[in-house]
Amino acid sequence: MKVREAMIRDVSAMFEDETIEDFIVLCLRQNRSGLPVVDEEFKVVGFLSESDVIKSALPSYFSLLQSASFIPDT
């Protein structure tokens, strides 16, 4: 199987200056977990995923989870 056989062709994109709220709304409406990010010339400059948003919003929480994974069950 080739990528072209599985890829989604009708893709929306976000501009860098749009809000995370806009990103979440668009992902929910289109049932996507991430979207490309484009500049003013519509060139792709990155990709934003739901997990990227969560990681940037809760970085200290994730470090606690990594530490907690080594706590023995009593």
Q: What is the pLDDT of residues 24-71, one digit of tens each?
A: 999 999 999 999 999 999 999 999 999 999 888 876 666 666 655 555
pTM of the model: 0.70
d(CA 54, CA 52): 5
Best CATH choice for the domain 3-68 from the list 3.40.190.10, 3.30.1950.10, 3.10.580.10, 3.75.10.20:
3.10.580.10
Q: What is the mean pLDDT of residues 6-12?
A: 91
pLDDT of residue 58: 76
CA angle (26 as vertex; 47, 5 as ends), nearest 5: 60
d(CA 25, CA 22): 5
Angle between helical axes of 50-57 and 20-30 (0-180°, round to 10): 150
pLDDT of residue 64: 67
